[in-house]
Chain A
Amino acid sequence: MAHPVLDLTGRRNRGEAAFGGLARFAGILVLIVLSLIALVMTTRAWPALTSGNFFTTKRWSVPDEVFGSLAFVFGTIVSATVAICLAVPISIGIALFVTQVSPGWLKKPIVYSVDLLATVPSVVFGFWGISVLAPKIMGFYESVHDLTSGIPGLRSLFGQPNGRSMFTAGIILAIMITPIVSSLSREVISTCPQGDREGALALGATRWEMIRAVVIPHSSGGLVGAVMLGLGRAMGETIAATLVIGSSAQITANLFGAGNSMPAVIASEWGEALGQHRSALTALAVTLFALTIIVNVLATSIVSRSRRRAQGTI
């Protein structure tokens, strides 16, 4: 909230105006940079975006200069979805535990430990993924594959296992987005009014019933926003995905199958791309940019709406 300037001297101070202008310029810089990114990338991407089949085909052929984005959009969405399915129950579980259940002395250590996860750089997770997780998880994948081989629907979902696959990428992404989703969920859940919670307990509800009946309905909007922010982050993650996703431009129902994601293919092929190929990769970057912005805008507005509702200003 800005404060009225009480300039008792009544003089117009040039330094005053200069500082204010500088601050405004710095603020506008964000808008300038964002618009510049959008502009520069869209102009370079234009030839590929308007080529007619960019959004309709899954074929990506450098020699024939046919560039379709479908396989990569598919891979991005599938790996991000797997990440969300794994991370959301765990993150919200931690958030609920910390805010509703845990004794006071335990809260800070838990929060710090989860934030420790956020401090580890993504490339280290990717390295661990390709060196340790991908080789070792084959055993688990094969058991799941054998278990579900009798069930028609699940059979195609858990097909021929590969260490480097969309599912493995999903696991690594889940580990990376858990701290964000967890801390945002904590913030949202802690806005639940004490009165409502105590009221439920006073009426004889057990702890869990109180959580289910009061806390979750109250925070559901904000939690959706937190989950979407995690989704945005999972879609944009480049390095960890590049190393473990399998680099295969296929669309398959098999979660254990190799795939590719938009940021991963950009990272792999950008160095050598020229002409139409480079334009196509830039078009992928623009698509990714647009997707993550839409998800983030939706998520931010949902979270701030629920925050304002909790504060009573809505």
Chain B
Amino acid sequence: MLLGGHLTSISSLLERTNPTGVILRSYRRYLSMTTALILGVSTVGCGGGDSTDSNSAATTVGGAATTAAKTAELAAATLNGSGATFPKAFYEEAVAAFKAKNKAVTINYGGGGSGKGRTDLASQVVDWAGSDAIVKEADKTSYKGGAFLYFPTVVAPINVVFNAPGVDKLNLSPTLIAKIFQVEITKWNDPAILAENAGAKLPDSPIVVAHRSDGSGTTENFTKFLDSAVGSKGDGTWKLKSGSTVEWASSTQAAEGNGGLSKFVKDTVGSISYVDFSDAKVAGLKAASIKNQAGKYIAPSLEGASAAADGAEIAADLTYFAGWAKGDAAYPIAAQTWILVYKSQTDKAKGKAIKGFLEYMYGDGQKLAKEIDFAPLSPSLLAKAQAQLAMIEIPA
């Protein structure tokens, strides 16, 4: 004991006074491991053959070695992030839980929409970005920090929410959704809607279509679903293609963020829009059941989103699209989201903090997701994501 303490104090003294900290840091680690080894060996030797004793000694050695590496809490760093409002409620809780374990690290997430996140990361105004949609090839050159990595985090349904008095349930097919959002169907009691909702009492009032005013990954996933189902590859009903903003009809209204859009639908009688499952639930909005590829009307749920994401094809850079998935139980408007970070980090403390936060995301964070109404990643995708963590280059 005395010997170990003596050795560590000598090493820390050396580290403080000698400028070549690199050599001495590894020296110190060598010293602490040697100390642990000496202690372990001496305890085992002294303690005799008691199995529980030697077990506890062994775990003490292992424990000492690993805690020597783990109890080093992350060094002080501030990480600023912005982007998707789709997973915002989850990210904020994850940040708070992470901060409880790593008090010196402050993480801010400003939201603002996937478009803002990508723009901010490109101009290096933030250290990490949340985005529900991938970056266009042409835009990649504007990313000042070089190459970046996609880290998938959660999956969730996009609800088609509505506020029509007297209507609790609604069945919608992709064709119907396309026509409503292109303002080709303008009243709630239109025969086309009644055809899919036999016996429903729909009001004779105009439909107010609302969409996102900011560049949104939710918009991109929603329109990509429409484009895949009934767009150019389908029967051609959906003409607006897909993107983080599309050219909505000028008579439609807009609001900012998933939160702003859910408030709009909550406040405006006769409105219809698209928001993430979690925000819709918190705002108490009714959601439509959507007809999937198998022909079944599926209500939005985490299980439906997981079923959709499980079958998706995952690219090498971990990008994929969970919408318009095959399968009886798949919810057709499931959406995926990523955290984007630069591959080569320039600041050691920040790099370690980002890596630590992502490690948390793939550990306890996946359990936390369910509590906030987001579905965790499938085990195979989770394994791939954890493996990608090693690709982050942190300066020594």
Known: A271-B112, A272-B115, A274-B119. A248 touches B247 (CB 8 A): no
Contact digits for B215-254, partner A, Cβ 8 Å, 1 yes 0 no: 1000000000000000000000000010111110011111
- Taking the complex as formed, is A247 at the interface, i.e. its CB lies under 8 A from any CB of chain B? yes
Q: In the complex, are the beta carbons of B253 and A162 less than 8 A apart?
A: yes
Question: With a CB–CB cut-off of 8 A, which chain B residues contact A59?
Answer: 247
* Interface stretch of the complex, out of B94-102, B206-214, B290-298: B206-214
A contacts with B, residue count (CB < 8 A): 30
- Taking the complex as formed, is B142 at the interface, i.e. its CB lies under 8 A from any CB of chain A? yes
- Taking the complex as formed, is B89 at the interface, i.e. its CB lies under 8 A from any CB of chain A? no
- Taking the complex as formed, is A269 at the interface, i.e. its CB lies under 8 A from any CB of chain B? yes
Question: With a CB–CB cut-off of 8 A, which chain A residues contact B267?
Answer: 134-135, 163
Q: In the complex, are the beta carbons of B213 and A247 less than 8 A apart?
A: yes
Q: In the complex, are the beta carbons of A248 and B115 less than 8 A apart?
A: no
Q: In the complex, are the beta carbons of B208 and A272 less than 8 A apart?
A: no
B contacts with A, residue count (CB < 8 A): 34
Q: In the complex, are the beta carbons of A258 and B253 less than 8 A apart?
A: yes
Q: In the complex, are the beta carbons of B243 and A63 less than 8 A apart?
A: yes
Q: In the complex, are the beta carbons of A164 and B253 less than 8 A apart?
A: yes
- Taking the complex as formed, is B350 at the interface, i.e. its CB lies under 8 A from any CB of chain A? no
- Taking the complex as formed, is B122 at the interface, i.e. its CB lies under 8 A from any CB of chain A? yes
A252–B116 Cα distance when bound, in Å, is 30
- Taking the complex as formed, is A234 at the interface, i.e. its CB lies under 8 A from any CB of chain B? no
- Taking the complex as formed, is B268 at the interface, i.e. its CB lies under 8 A from any CB of chain A? yes
Known: A135-B267, A274-B142. A62 touches B250 (CB 8 A): no
Which A residues between 193 and 242 are near B, CB-CB below 8 angstroms? none
- Taking the complex as formed, is A71 at the interface, i.e. its CB lies under 8 A from any CB of chain B? yes
Of A62, A246, A252, A274, the residue contacting B253 (CB under 8 A) is A246
- Taking the complex as formed, is A85 at the interface, i.e. its CB lies under 8 A from any CB of chain B? no
Question: With a CB–CB cut-off of 8 A, which chain A residues contact B264?
Answer: 164
Given contacts A63-B247, A272-B113, A273-B119, 20 further A-B contacts (CB under 8 A): A58-B250, A62-B245, A63-B245, A71-B250, A135-B267, A138-B269, A162-B253, A246-B253, A247-B253, A247-B255, A247-B256, A248-B254, A268-B213, A269-B213, A271-B112, A271-B119, A271-B120, A272-B112, A272-B116, A274-B142
Interface pairs (19), CB distance under 8 Å = A59-B247, A62-B243, A62-B244, A63-B241, A63-B245, A164-B253, A246-B253, A248-B253, A248-B254, A249-B250, A269-B213, A271-B113, A271-B120, A271-B214, A272-B113, A272-B117, A272-B118, A272-B214, A274-B142
Chain B interface residues toward A at CB < 8 A: 82, 112-113, 115-120, 122, 139, 142, 206, 208, 213-215, 241, 243-247, 250-256, 264, 267-269
